[in-house]
Amino acid sequence: MTSHLPNIILIRHGETQWNVAGRLQGRKDTPLTANGVRQALAVGLRLAERIAGETKLKFWVSPLGRARQTASILADTWSVPFEQFTHDEALVERAYGSWEGRAHDEIERDLAHEYEAHSAEPWDYAMPGGESRTTLDGRLLAWLATLDHENTHVVVTHSGCVRALRGIYTKASREEILAYREPQTASFLLSTGHETMIGIPLSILRALGCEGEGRTVWI
């Protein structure tokens, strides 16, 4: 199924209020911070020449608000109508069920049994009401199978999906995937067997007032 995959430009949404607070979002949603807006603008500017130079593009976005807000900023930066972004449920963040809205230390303290079970089986365990990494991979593989190979697909999604898609494309080991980080001031070019991270020069980040590369609660 992964022998030949479509080319993707992969983007994580900008920093949100709960990213700053260190709380798992999952299917719950909080808006971008001012810093998150600046991050999305920085990513858009960094990719503008590449987007303008592509003749065949399709645009995709998770239906969650933080991803849509990021896509709106990107669309304006690239002079692309926001309506060209297709909302697809396959791109929503991994569901964390009863863990959503909680900080890492709160989960470890208050839901110790679930936390330990997840630590023991980080790929196959699903917290109550949540989704395992294995299930997330299956969801994204099924979505990839629907994409055409004539276009480059611009995808705005979430850290869990970014990590999973990178692993699918590079065929990294599970240990390598768990060590991945998904900065909110970078994007990834994915093709079968390869990934390239497109970072943003520090001078540009400073000029835009971006603070840090972004935050994720690592679960």
Binding positions for substrate are 12-19, 66, 93-96
Which of 93, 114, 131, 182 is an active site residue? 93
Question: Which residues have CB under 8 Å from 164's CB, separation 6+?
Answer: 94, 133, 136, 137, 140, 177
Q: Is 182 designated active site?
A: no
Say how far apart CA 212 and CA 202 lie, in whole Å.
10
User: Strand, coil or helix: what is 24?
Assistant: coil
HEC secondary structure over 69-121: HHHHHHHHHHCCCHHHEEECHHHCCCCEHHHCCCEHHHHHHHCHHHHHHHHHC
Answer for the pair 189, 51: CB distance below 8 angstroms, yes or no.
Answer: no
Integer CA distances (angstroms), 165 to 91, 160, 161, in order: 10, 9, 6
In the residue annotation, 93 being an active-site residue is answered as: yes
Residues with a catalytic annotation lie at: 13, 93
